[in-house]
Amino acid sequence: MKHLFTTLLLFISFIFQFNTPAADIDNIPIGIVKKLGKYIPLELNFIDSNGKKVLLKDLVNKPTIIDFAYYKCTGICTPLMTEIATSVNNVDLIPGKDYNLLTVSINPYDTFKDAYNKKMEIMNLINKKIPFSSWRFLTGDSASIKILTDAAGFHFEKQGNTFLHTGIVIFVSKDGKICRYLEPDFDSQGNFQILPIDFKIAIIDAARGEAVPVIDKVLRFCFAVQPKNEALVNYLFAAIGIFMILMVFAFVKFVLFKKHPQTSFITQKLKN
């Protein structure tokens, strides 16, 4: 039992070490470093889906939702944009009046034509009338992309023709203050799911300029993973979970049923 207890402590310490951010957290290759209360730089130039040069400051003139993606993504980018469009449909706030939306490509080789095609695809999913300019699809050079993503705490990595990144929605105030990070849930089929109430409250928080932390959820990453490898990862996490449960059970059993010398001595005295 002593060895079992030692193993449990080592295992728990390993798990905590694995989940603890590194000291130099801004240099992580992929993931989110939440920068609530910080400001995104608004003096950056991008190109919109019409091929027009635009200043970020002119687009973020009210609470704004920012989604980082790339337009030829075969992973989570389009599903997340689709779920954002669903949220637009399900919330009574009006884009262009109550808030704006920005989808910013993290691929400097995406063109404004790529942005236009993706915009038309996503806008066709919205079943209510909204200004065409209320959701901008942007492209930019690598320098502008890096400055903006670093300021937002959005870290990604290029591998060949793909980009590894997380799926998250960022809400900023009209002066660029980061107020909320919304991490989508997943339905029973594993698809993105954003609750309308979460979406609406995040917009309201951004309108008030309030930086509101929320409980972290498991982020979905955009990896080029083969299904068999994905299944292997799922089995691995399941095995780790079962192992942890068994270890905790063994520890509890050890604590509850171990015979302590002092207790045995007292029991013996009472018998005499």
Is 6 inside a domain boundary?
A: yes
**Last-in-domain residue among 222, 244, 260:** 222
In which domain, by residue range, is 258 found?
A: 2-16+227-271
CB 165 within 8 A of CB 221: yes
DSSP strand pairing (64-69 vs 31-32): unpaired
Is 246 inside a domain boundary?
A: yes
- The pLDDT score that the predictor gives to residue 257 is 61
Q: What is the mean pLDDT of residues 187-208?
A: 90
Q: Are 137 and 150 contained in the same domain?
A: yes
Q: What is the mean pLDDT of residues 220-237?
A: 46
Least confident range of 11-15, 51-55, 174-178, 210-214: 11-15
Is 69 inside a domain boundary?
A: yes
Element (H, E) at 127: none
Inter-CA distances, 93 with 55, 79, 87, Å = 25, 22, 10
Q: Are 234 and 199 contained in the same domain?
A: no
Is 116 inside a domain boundary?
A: yes
Q: Are 161 and 266 contained in the same domain?
A: no
| Average pLDDT over all residues of the chain | 80
Query: Residue 55 is part of a domain; what is its CATH number?
Result: 3.40.30.10
CA distance 2 to 204: 54
DSSP state of 71: T
Q: Are 125 and 231 contained in the same domain?
A: no
Q: What is the mean pLDDT of residues 239-268?
A: 60
Q: Are 251 and 200 contained in the same domain?
A: no
Q: How confident is the model at residue 29 (pLDDT cuts 50, 70, 90)?
A: confident
**Last-in-domain residue among 184, 207, 222:** 222
Q: What is the mean pLDDT of residues 146-167?
A: 92
* pLDDT at residue 22 tops 80: no
Q: Are 102 and 233 contained in the same domain?
A: no
Is 23 inside a domain boundary?
A: no
Least confident range of 22-31, 145-154, 204-213: 22-31
- The pLDDT score that the predictor gives to residue 187 is 75
Q: Are 218 and 249 contained in the same domain?
A: no
Q: Are 60 and 168 contained in the same domain?
A: yes
Where does residue 62 rank: exposed (0-12), middle (13-18), buried (19+ CB within 10 A)? middle
Is 26 inside a domain boundary?
A: no
SS3 185: strand
Q: Are 165 and 199 contained in the same domain?
A: yes
Q: Are 133 and 217 contained in the same domain?
A: yes
Q: What is the mean pLDDT of residues 240-263?
A: 63
pLDDT (tens digit per residue) in 89-139: 999 999 999 999 999 999 999 999 999 999 999 999 999 999 999 999 999
Residue in 163, 164, 166, 119 with CA at minimum distance from that of residue 138: 119
Q: Are 166 and 122 contained in the same domain?
A: yes
Is 22 inside a domain boundary?
A: no
CB 75 within 8 A of CB 223: yes
* pLDDT at residue 65 tops 90: yes
- The pLDDT score that the predictor gives to residue 3 is 52
Least confident range of 22-26, 158-162, 176-180: 22-26
* pLDDT at residue 216 tops 80: no
CB 136 within 8 A of CB 96: no
* pLDDT at residue 201 tops 90: yes
Question: How many domains is the chain partitioned into structurally?
Answer: 2
Q: Are 39 and 170 contained in the same domain?
A: yes
Inter-CA distances, 211 with 56, 88, 133, 150, Å = 20, 22, 26, 18
Is 184 inside a domain boundary?
A: yes
Q: What is the mean pLDDT of residues 35-45?
A: 96
